[in-house]
Structure 1
Amino acid sequence: MPNIDFTLPHWAYWLGLLIFPVAGMILARRARPAQTRYGAALAYLILVTGGILGLHRFYLKSLLGLVYIPVFLFVLWSNAAERDARAALSDATNLVKVAERTLEREKPRVEATEADIDAIRAEVAAAEEGSFARKSAERRLKRAEDAITTGRDRLKVAEAELAEAQPIAVAATADRTFWYSAARYAFFLILALMALDAVLIPSLVRKANDSIAQEEPEETIIDAEMAERAAQIDPDARKPDHEWAENWIDRLSLYAGEFVSYWAVIAVFVYYFEVISRYVFNSPTSWAHESMYLMFGMQYLIAGSYAMLTEGHVRVDIFYANMSPRRKAWTDLFTSIFFFIFAGTLLVTSYIFAMDAIAVPSGNSVVSDWARGEVGFGEMLGGLSLRDWTDPSIRWGEISFNEWEVPLWPMKWMMFVGGLLLVLQGVSKFSKDIRAIARGA
C-alpha cells in the first residue's frame, strides 16, 4: 500500500477550528425544506470521506455498497499480514546481522589463537619446571585454549542462528511483498469503484429522490399524556436554548457553546482519517491525537459558561430541586461565593499561564519579546507582519513535545477566555438571583 505522508499544518488546524463552526452555524440556520431530499453535494462529500466503505451507496439507499465491505476488509487483513511479515523480517534480519558480526569477529580471533598456540606450548615445554616463566607460559596457554573453545562455541551458535534466520528472512520478504501487492491491488479496485460511482452519483440521487416521492408520508402520533408527564418530571427538558438568554452575557454564552459544539464534528473526520491512515495505509499520524486532545481541552473550557447557563453541570439537588424559586435564588447567592472563588482563581491563573506560554525562551517572535518585557506593546503591534503567522521558523513561545510541535499558547489563552466567560455568566446569574429575591418570585 502507498504511504500517506501528510502532516496537518499548524495554520490549517487553527483556521479549521475557526471556519468550520462558523459554516456549521450558518448551515444550521438555513430554512429546512418541507420534504427531505437527497443531494448530490452531500453524496460526493460522503464519497470522498467514506467512499472506501461504500457509505455513499448506503446514503443513496443502494445495497451495492455492500460490495465495498469485503474488499475493504481484505485490505485490512492484507495490511495486518504485511505488518506481521515486516515484524518477522525485522527480527530475522537482526539475527542475521548479529550472527554475521559474530562470525566476522570470532573467526579471525580463533584462527590467530590457533596459530600461536603451538609456540606457547613449546615455550611451556622449554621452561624450567616450577619457574616463574613456566607458570606464566602455562597461564597464557590456558587462556589461549579457553579462547579457542569459547570462540568455537560462539561460531557454532552463530552459524546455527544464521542458517535458521536466513530462510525465515527470505520467506518473510516474500510474504511481505505478496501481502503488500494484494492490499494495493484491492485498494485500487476500491478506487476504481469510487471513480465509477462518482460518474453515477447524479443518476443515483435522482433515483433515490424518485423513491421518496413514491413513499407515503408517515404519520407522527404524539401521546399527549406522555408529553404532559415528561413536562412535569422535567419542565426544562425540551426548553430551547434561546429561552435561556435574558441579556447579552447569556447570548454570548449560548453562541460560545454552539460554536465549540461543532468541534466534535471535526473530531469525527480527524479520527476517521487517523484510522484509515493507520490500518489501510500503514501510516499512523503524529498529529491527530494531540490536535484533538488540545481541541477537546479548549472545548471543555469555553463551553463551561454555556453549561452553567443551561444548567447542564452535574450536581446533587436532592434538597434544591424542591425549593421555591425565591429559596433557590437565596441558595444560589450563598453558593456563588465559592463559585467566584473558583472562577476568579481560574481567570487569574490562566492569564499567568497564557503569558508564560508566550514568554518562554524558545519564542523568537515579536509577541514573545513583548511578553518577556523586551519591547513595548506599541512596538510589538508595529512589528507584527504576515511572516509572524506563516513562517514555520518563528516560534510563538511554548510548543508541544510531540514531533508535530504545535504552539500551545492558543490553548492556554482559551483557558483565560473560558474563565472570563464563566465569570461573566456568574455575574449574570448573580443579577438574576437578586431580581428573583427582590420580586419575591
Structure 2
Amino acid sequence: MPGLSFTLPHWLYWVGLIAFPLIAMSLARRPKPQQQGYSTALGYMILVTGGIIGLHRFYLKSLLGLVFLPVFIFILVANGQQHDARSIESDLTNALRMAERTIEREEPRIEEARAALPKLEAAVAEVEEGSFAQRSAEKRVTRAKDTIAKGEASLIEARAKVEEVKPLADKATETRAFWHSAAGYALYALIALMLIDAVLLPGMVKRANASLPAVEPKSEAELALEAAEAEEGPKHDSEYAQNWIDRLSLFCGEYVSYWAVIAVFVYYFEVISRYVFNSPTNWAHEAMYLMFGMQYLIAGAYAMLTESHVRVDIFYAPLPQKRKAWVDLLTSIFFFIFAGTLLVTSYVFAVDAIAVPTGNAIVSDWARGDASFGEMLGGLNLGLWTDPAIRWGEISFNEWEVPLWPMKWVMVMGGLLLVLQGISKLSKDIREIARGN
C-alpha cells in the first residue's frame, strides 16, 4: 500500500485561511441561474475530493458509482488486516528477539562455566578437609554447576521458543505483505477508474443536464407566497447593519464562516490518509483547532450584532424596545469590562508570543522593548522570511511547529471587534432612549 506523506507548509495554511473565504464569498454572490443544473467544475471538485468512493457518479445520478464502494471497502478491510498482521508480527518478532538474545547470552556463560569447572573441582581436592578454603571452593563449584544447569534449561526453553515462534513470525510477515499488496492494487484500480471518469466527466455532465426536466415559470401566486414567507422569516444579515462597525462585523462573521468548509476538506483528507493510506498526519488536528479558536474570536462581534448568543431572556424578551435599551445601557458596563480585559490581555499574550528569541532577533528585541518600532521596521529584510532556520516567535510543541503568534494577534483583532461592536450597540441604545418612543 503506497504511503501518503504530506505536511502542510505554514505559508499554505495561512494563504488558505485568507484566500479561501474571499473566493467562496465571491462565488456565493454570483447571480444564480434560473435553470439549475449540474456543473462540470463542481463535478471535478467532487471527483478530486470524493472520487475514491464514487461521489462524482452519485452527484450525476449514475449508479455506476456503486462500483467504487466495494473496492473502497476492500481497501479498508485490507488495511485492517494489515494492521492486525503487523501487530501480531511485532509481538512475535519481539518474542523471537528475546529468545535469540537469551541464547546469545547463555551459550558463552555455560561454556565459560564448563571450562572453569575442572579447575574448581581440583581446587576442592587440594585444600585441607573441613577448612574454610574447602567450603569456599565447594561453593564456587556449586555455583558453576547451577549456572550450567540453569543456563541449559534456559537454552532449551529459548530454542524451543525460536522453533515455535519463527514460523509464526514468518507467516505473519507474509500475511502483512499480502494485504499490503492487495490494498495497493485495489487503490491503483480506484485511481484508474477516477482517471477514466476524469476524461468522461464533461460528457456525463452534459447528459445529466439534458435529462433534467424543463423549469416552468412561477405563477404570481407562488411569487407572492415566497415574498410573504421572506417577510415573515428571520431578518437578513444586511438588515442589522446601521453603521460601518456593523458592516465590518457582518463581513468578518461571513468571512470566518467559510473556514468551516476548510475543516471538512482537511478532516476528510485526514480520514483518507489514516485509513486508506495508513499515513496519519501530524498537522490536521492542530491546524483545525487553532483555526476554530480564531473563528470563535473573530465571530464574536457578528454574534453580538445578530443576537446569536445563547441566553435565557425570559424577563428581557417581553420588555418594550425602550426598556430593553435601558437594560442594555446599564449592563453594558459588564460587557466593556469583559471586552476590555480580553483586548488588553490578548495584546500582552500577542507581544509575548513574538518576544520569544528564536531567530527573528530584531522583532524579539522590539517586543521586549529593547528596540523602537522604527528600528524594528528598518531591520526587517527578506532573509527573515526565507531563512528556514528562523522561527518567528512562539511555536507549537507539535512536530508541525506552526508559529502561534498569528493566533495570538487574532485574539487582539477579536477583542477589538468586540469593543467596537459594543460601542455601536451603546450608541444605538442611547439613540433609542433619546427617541423617547
For the aligned pair, the TM-score class normalised by the smaller chain equals over 0.9
Which amino acid in 1 is paired with 2:105?
Answer: R
Q: Which residue type is aligned with residue 11 of structure 1? A: W
1:252 pairs with 248, 255, 260, which one?
Answer: 248
Structure 1 position 243, deviation (Å): 0.4
Structure 1 residues 362 and 177: CA distance shift in structure 2, 3 A: same
Aligned to 1:187: 187
Q: What does 1:2-41 correspond to in 2, within 5 Å?
A: 2-41=2-41
Counterpart in the other structure of 1:278 = 274
1:157 aligned partner: 157
Alignment-derived partner of residue 299 in structure 2: 303
1:424 to 404, 409, 420: 420
Counterpart residue number, 2:371: 375
Distance apart, 1:108 and its partner CA:
0.8
Distance 2:186 2:217 in 1: 42
Contact 1:365 1:396 in 2 (8 A): no
State the AA in 1 paired with 2:31.
A
Deviation at 1:4, TM superposition (A): 1.0
Read off the aligned partner of 2:354 and give its amino acid letter.
I
Deviations 1:86-123 (A, max 9, x none): 12212222222221111111111011102212321232
**Aligned 8 A contact 2:249 2:302 in 1:** yes
TM-score by length of 1: 0.94
Question: Shift in Å at residue 80 of structure 1?
Answer: 1.1
Q: Encode CA deviations 1:220-241: one digit per residue, 9 max, x unaligned.
A: 998x99999998xxxx961100
CA contact (8 A) 1:363 1:398 kept: no
C-alpha separation in 1, matches of 2:136 and 2:215: 105
**TM-score normalized by structure 2?**
0.95
Correspondences of 1:49-64 after superposition (within 5 Å): 49-64=49-64
Distance 1:150 1:251 in 2: 85
Could you tell me which amino acid in structure 2 is paired with residue 394 of structure 1? I
Q: Deviations over 1:7-66 (max 9, x none)?
A: 110000011100000101111111111111111111111111111011111111111111
Aligned counterpart, 2:80: 80
Contact kept in structure 2, 1:11 and 1:390, CA below 8 Å: no
Deviation at 1:363, TM superposition (A): 4.2
Instruction: Measure, in 1, the Cα distance between the counterparts of 2:369 and 2:285.
Output: 34
> In 2, Cα distance between the equivalents of 1:221 and 1:131?
123
Letter paired with 1:102: T
Q: Residue 107 of structure 1 corresponds to which residue in structure 2?
A: 107
In 2, Cα distance between equivalents of 1:281 and 1:76: 9
Matched residue, 2:235: 239
Q: Which of the numbers 336, 345, 354 marks the counterpart of 2:332?
A: 336
**Do the aligned partners of residues 192 and 225 (structure 1) sit closer, same or farther apart at CA in structure 2, a change above 3 Å counting?**
closer
The reply to whether residue 123 of structure 1 matches residue 123 of structure 2 is: yes
The amino acid of 1:290's aligned partner reads E
Per-residue CA deviation, residues 150-194 of structure 1 (Å, 9 max, x unaligned), is 222322232122122211211011111111111111111111111
Is contact 1:256-1:303 (8 Å) kept?
yes
2: CA distance between counterparts of 1:66 and 1:332? Answer: 57
**Is the CA contact (8 Å cut-off) linking 2:359 and 2:389 kept in structure 1?**
no
Identity across matched positions, percent: 66
What secondary structure sits across from 2:83 in the alignment? helix
Deviation for aligned residue 1:217: 8.1
In the aligned structure 1, how far is the partner of 2:416 from the partner of 2:58? Answer: 45
The whole-number CA distance in structure 2 between the counterparts of 1:220 and 1:42 is 33
- Which amino acid is 1:13 matched to? Y
Show structure 1 runs of 5+ residues with no match: none
Equivalent residue letter for 2:52: I
| Number of the residue aligned with 2:262 | 266
Taking the TM superposition and a 5 Å limit, the aligned residue runs for 1:198-213 are: 198-213=198-213
Matched, 1:396 2:392: yes
Would the aligned equivalents of 1:357 and 1:409 in 2 still touch at CA under 8 Å?
Answer: yes
Alpha-carbon separation, structure 2, partners of 1:215 and 1:251: 37
CA distance in 2, matches of 1:418, 1:160: 68
Code of the residue aligned with 1:93 in structure 2: it is: T
CA contact (8 A) 2:360 2:384 kept: no
Q: 2: CA distance between counterparts of 1:188 and 1:115?
A: 62
Check the 8 A contact 1:370/1:377 in 2, yes or no.
yes
Alignment check: 8 A CA contact 2:358 2:390 kept: no
Question: Distance in 2 between the 1:217 and 1:125 partners?
Answer: 120
Q: Write the letter of the residue equivalent to 1:208.
A: A
Name 1:141's counterpart in structure 2.
Answer: 141
Partner of 1:94: 94
Q: What is the CA–CA distance in structure 1 between the aligned matches of 2:322 and 2:123, rounded to whole Å?
A: 111
**Would you say the 8 A contact 2:316–2:324 is kept in 1?**
yes
- How far, CA to CA, are the matches of 2:174 and 2:121 in structure 1? 52
Task: Determine if contact 2:240/2:305 at 8 Å carries over to the other structure.
Answer: yes
Asked if the contact 1:360–1:397 (Cα under 8 Å) also holds between the matched residues in 2, the reply is yes
| Counterpart residue identity of residue 369, structure 1 | D
The list of structure 1 runs, each at least 4 consecutive aligned residues, that deviate by more than 6 angstroms after superposition, is 215-222, 224-231
Return the alpha-carbon distance in structure 1 between the equivalents of residues 137 and 218 of structure 2: 105
Unaligned residue ranges in structure 2 (runs of 5+): none
Find the aligned partners of 2:269 and 2:428 in 1 and give their Cα distance.
46
SS at 2:144 equivalent = helix
Aligned length: 437
* C-alpha distance 294-360 of structure 1, shift in aligned 2 (>3 A): same
In 2: Cα distance, 1:414 partner to 1:161 partner: 61
| C-alpha displacement of 1:408 | 0.3
Shift of 1:124: 2.0
Describe the SS at the equivalent of 1:34: coil
- Separation (CA, whole Å) in 2 of partners of 1:203 and 1:214: 20
User: Over the residues paired in the alignment, what is the CA RMSD in angstroms?
Assistant: 2.3
Shifted more, 319-328 versus 146-155: the winner is 146-155
CA gap of 1:220–1:19, structure 2 versus 1, over 3 A, is farther
SS at match of 2:111: helix
Do residues 288 (structure 1) and 284 (structure 2) align? yes
- Mapped to 1, the partners of 2:7 and 2:312 lie a distance apart of 45
The whole-number CA distance in structure 2 between the counterparts of 1:166 and 1:74 is: 29
SS in 2 for 1:118: helix
